[in-house]
């Protein structure tokens, strides 16, 4: 079967750095997405990786290793507004999106 694993919940301190991991086992790979979802709101697109390496976008970076079936989202200089759930999703060989259950990130002052 296809599977995406992410930690259920993480806690970090304002101003710090946090890394949210995502491991996947899917039938084929055509890219990996990260979405952010604040409580009661719509998920919004953060990043897309299809090649190995690190993609940086302001305070957020996303890393992919296809050989290891692994990605992470790195959030720097954490702000209270970063408290949200972070969803990892992989595009499989049939162009279906396989979703993880999401990681709830709690930021403390």
Partner 1 sequence: ETGVTQTPRHLVMGMTNKKSLKCEQHLGHNAMYWYKQSAKKPLELMFVYSLEERVENNSVPSRFSPECPNSSHLFLHLHTLQPEDSALYLCASSQGGGDRSNEKLFFGSGTQLSVL
Closest CB 17 distance from partner 1, rounded Å: 25
Do residues 10 and 18 touch, judged by C-beta distance below 8 A?
A: yes
Do residues 47 and 73 touch, judged by C-beta distance below 8 A?
A: yes
Among 10, 21, 23, 48, binds partner 1 (CB under 8 A): 48
Among 45, 51, 53, 109, binds partner 1 (CB under 8 A): 45
- Rounded to whole angstroms, the Cα distance separating 21 from 9 reads 11
Judged by CB under 8 A, does residue 101 bind partner 1?
yes
Span 60-79, contacts to partner 1 by CB under 8 A: none
């Amino acid at each position: 079967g296809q599977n995406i694993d992410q930690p259920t919940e993480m806690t970090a301190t304002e101003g710090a750095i946090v890394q949210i991991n995502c491991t996947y086992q899917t039938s084929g790979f055509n890219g990996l997405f990260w979405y952010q979802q604040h409580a009661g709101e719509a998920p919004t697109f953060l990043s897309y990786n299809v090649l190995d390496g690190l993609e940086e976008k302001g305070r957020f970076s996303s890393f992919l290793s296809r050989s290891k079936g692994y990605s992470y989202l790195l959030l720097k200089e954490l702000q209270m507004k970063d408290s949200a759930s972070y969803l990892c999703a992989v595009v499989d060989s049939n162009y279906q999106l396989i979703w993880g259950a999401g990681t709830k990130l709690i930021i403390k002052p």
